[in-house]
């Protein structure tokens, strides 16, 4: 009898607990949350080993360590700033469409679920943090061999807050460009246009490397660059697939488009090299793949895989031409072609998005009352405004920081190499 009473009380308590749990709102979809956590790791994989190896192989051996530490340090600094104030500037509730409010300063007021999504806001913060980390790190390729480390850190810190965060809010945080109807699926405008244009401005302000352009500036480890590009390629699945923010067909479609564009661009690039120079190269294949990835990024979740083939082919053709224009005709020493590949690719993809968004061409279709011409006008306006804003603010930040920290190392340090003069190991542990 006692056992029956005890069993009855336990069942009643269990039933009450189950009812209580039913009344508690879910903290988000576990599948979607797991997918975003994995994608966050993939984007970080792009940045730290991927971008570091890609850029590191392209420079001379005496500057390899300086590239690695700049990429890693910039990403780390941007991540810390994202926690302190970057996230709330980019994704806090909009105030006039320009910046987010301060509710999430130091991430002190995160919701259980990000509004309009099925994932916890903490997962959304993490995913967007990886974007905020890799975007300024992309610019490192423009100033390798000659920029002073202290200036790099101060410049990128201010750039993250004054360029990246506002543009992220305009496009992704409910800001004024999003309200107008401009689209950017995964960063063609927010990431690649801002970083590419800003990199070009810094390259102009810094001036050319000693000996530019000569054979002495050839990459010291093309194989390392190829490995870095492969890591970037794989990690880009998280970049674009994760931007669907759900583990659904939207993510799968974005990844198919991403892979297709990268493959076509890489193959087109080596075909151009074969026709132009008589042989394909590993650096060419790697550069072509990155150009295709940057170009499909703003449209990956909106266009068909068939359209991605055209995106990839045009990415190789246009970015190959852009490298020649910037380096050989304009004589601008954007050392690792950040503007010509990332900037031009991101802007090209943002414009191609307009026609290929059409349902008739396999896209997801236009919003009500928007046609192809209006969509193209919106994309042109968004790209133009963001490019101009990035250029002006970047120039102001770069010059302001240079009043306190010189932008460029000395001529002697540049000749000796930054690995030794700026980051050389001194055997401190044995002193």
Mean pLDDT of the chain: 91
- Read off the pLDDT band of 340 (50, 70, 90): very high
Sequential DSSP letters for 41-60: HHHHHIIIIIIHHHHHHHS-
Give the pLDDT of residue 423.
Answer: 83
Q: What is the dihedral of CA 43, 46, 52, 54, to 10 degrees?
A: -160
Contacts of 19-25 spanning 24+ positions with Cβ under 8 A: 25/112
| Integer CA distances (angstroms), 416 to 1, 72, 427, in order | 90, 22, 19
Q: Count of residues for the chain?
A: 431
> Over the stretch 355-394, which tens digit does the pLDDT of each residue have?
999 999 999 999 999 999 999 999 999 999 999 999 999 9
Least confident of 89-103, 277-291, 334-348: 89-103
Q: To 5 degrees, how large is the angle CA 254–CA 259–CA 263?
A: 150
Give the pLDDT of residue 192.
Answer: 98
Q: Exposed/middle/buried for 307, CB within 10 Å: 0-12, 13-18, 19+?
A: buried
Q: Output the pTM of the full model.
A: 0.91
Residue 427 has pLDDT above 60, yes or no: no
> Over the stretch 229-258, which tens digit does the pLDDT of each residue have?
999 999 999 999 999 999 999 999 999 999
Q: Of the CATH numbers 1.20.1250.20, 1.10.1740.10, 1.10.3430.10, 3.40.50.720, which one belongs to the domain with range 30-412?
A: 1.10.3430.10
- Alpha-helix residue ranges (DSSP H) falling in 27-175: 30-45, 52-58, 64-81, 87-91, 121-138, 140-143, 149-159, 165-172
- Read off the pLDDT band of 217 (50, 70, 90): confident
Domain ranges (residues) in the chain: 30-412
Give the pLDDT of residue 215.
Answer: 63
> Over the stretch 23-46, which tens digit does the pLDDT of each residue have?
334 557 999 999 999 999 999 999
Number of Cβ within a 10 Å radius of residue 250? 18
Residue 2 has pLDDT above 60, yes or no: no
> Over the stretch 274-328, which tens digit does the pLDDT of each residue have?
999 999 999 999 999 999 999 999 999 999 999 999 999 999 999 999 999 999 8
Name residue 95's beta-bridge partners: 99
- Read off the pLDDT band of 426 (50, 70, 90): low
Is 315:261 a contact under the CB 8 Å cutoff?
yes
Q: Is 94 helix (H, G, I), strand (E, B) or coil?
A: strand
Bigger pLDDT: 1 or 149? 149
């Amino acid at each position: 009898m006692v056992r029956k009473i005890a069993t009855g009380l336990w069942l009643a308590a269990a039933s009450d607990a189950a009812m209580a749990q039913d009344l508690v709102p879910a903290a988000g979809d576990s599948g979607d949350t797991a997918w975003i956590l994995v994608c966050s790791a993939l984007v970080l994989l792009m940045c730290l080993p991927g971008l570091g190896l890609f850029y590191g192989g392209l420079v001379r051996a005496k500057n390899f360590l300086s590239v690695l530490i700049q990429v890693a340090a910039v990403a780390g600094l941007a991540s810390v700033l994202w926690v302190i104030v970057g996230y709330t500037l980019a994704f806090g509730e909009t105030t006039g469409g320009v910046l987010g409010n301060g509710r999430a300063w130091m991430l002190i007021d995160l919701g259980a679920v990000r509004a309009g999504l099925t994932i916890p806001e903490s997962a959304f913060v993490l995913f967007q943090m990886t974007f905020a980390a890799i975007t300024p790190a992309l610019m490192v390729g423009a100033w390798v061999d000659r920029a002073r480390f202290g200036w790099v850190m101060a410049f990128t810190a201010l750039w993250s807050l004054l360029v990246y965060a506002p543009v992220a809010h305009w496009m992704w945080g409910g800001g004024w460009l999003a309200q107008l109807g401009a689209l950017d699926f995964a960063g063609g405008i927010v990431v690649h246009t801002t970083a590419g244009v800003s990199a070009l401005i810094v390259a102009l302000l810094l001036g050319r490397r000693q000996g530019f352009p000569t054979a002495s500036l050839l990459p010291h480890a093309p194989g390392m660059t190829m490995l870095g590009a492969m890591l970037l390629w794989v990690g880009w699945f998280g970049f674009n697939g994760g931007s669907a923010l759900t583990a659904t067909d939207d993510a799968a479609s974005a990844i198919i488009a991403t892979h297709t564009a990268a493959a076509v661009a890489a193959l087109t690039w080596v075909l151009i090299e074969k026709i132009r120079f008589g042989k394909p190269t590993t650096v060419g294949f790697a550069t072509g793949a990155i150009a295709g990835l940057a170009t499909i990024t703003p449209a990956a979740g909106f266009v068909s895989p068939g359209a991605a083939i055209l995106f990839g082919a045009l990415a190789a053709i246009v970015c190959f031409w852009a490298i020649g224009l910037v380096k050989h005709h304009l004589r601008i020493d954007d050392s690792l072609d950040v503007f010509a590949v990332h900037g031009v690719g991101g802007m090209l993809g943002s414009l191609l998005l307009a026609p290929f968004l059409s349902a008739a061409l396999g896209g997801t279709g236009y919003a009500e009352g928007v046609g192809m011409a209006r969509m193209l006008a919106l994309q042109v306006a968004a790209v133009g405004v963001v490019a101009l804003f990035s250029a002006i603010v970047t120039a102001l930040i770069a010059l302001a920081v240079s009043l306190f920290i010189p932008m460029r190392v000395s001529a002697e340090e540049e000749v000796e190499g930054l690995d030794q003069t700026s980051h050389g190991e001194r055997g401190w542990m044995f002193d």
